[in-house]
Amino acid sequence: MKKGLTRLLKPGARLVSVAIFLLIPISALAQWSPSNYGSTGLPQQNIYYIIRGVVWWTLSIFGFFAVIGFVISGIMYLTAAGDEEQQKKAKKQMYWSITGVIVGLMGLVILYAVDRMLNVYSYF
């Protein structure tokens, strides 16, 4: 009878010890520290500046890939070695890369124009 009871208690004791081991650190998370009071890790700026930063990074990445496409199409054109099909493909890719650079620059100009119009020092 004693062996059967011990066998039943061992898994329960293991479960309780694992639960205690996992749940004790949670009490440390409940501690209040005045040093990080009010600190959420979120930006403290106006939503305008956050959107402007996102648009700036998006346009920067877009422009970077457009310039990379332009370089790759230039290399394709130089290595075509008289192959008409390869030259047409490289010219088409170069056309769309230049179009991408122009669209990216237009987006940047629009961003700066809107920025100037919304700020106090508007020149428009």
Q: Name the residue with tokens 């290595």.
A: 79
Shared domain for 51 and 94, answered yes or no, is yes
Q: What is the pLDDT of residue 23?
A: 74
Q: How far apart are CA 10 and CA 12, in angstroms?
A: 5
Q: Is residue 41 part of a domain?
A: no
| 27 vs 66, higher pLDDT | 66
Shared domain for 74 and 27, answered yes or no, is no
Mean pLDDT, the chain, integer? 78
Shared domain for 24 and 52, answered yes or no, is no
Q: Is residue 37 part of a domain?
A: no
pTM: 0.52
Shared domain for 106 and 67, answered yes or no, is yes
Q: What is the pLDDT of residue 56?
A: 82
**Predicted confidence (pLDDT) per residue in 55-88, tens digit:** 888 888 887 888 898 899 989 999 988 889 999 9
Residue 109 contacts residue 124 (beta carbons within 8 Å)? no
> Of 83, 101, 105, which is closest to residue 93 (Cα–Cα)?
101
> Phi and psi at residue 28, in whole multiples of 5°?
-70, -30
Per the structure, the complete domain to which residue 63 belongs is given by: 47-118
How many structural domains compose the chain?
A: 2
Shared domain for 113 and 56, answered yes or no, is yes
Shared domain for 27 and 52, answered yes or no, is no
Q: Is residue 106 part of a domain?
A: yes
* Dihedral over Cα of 41, 44, 47, 51: its sign: negative
Please tell me what DSSP assigns to residue 124: -
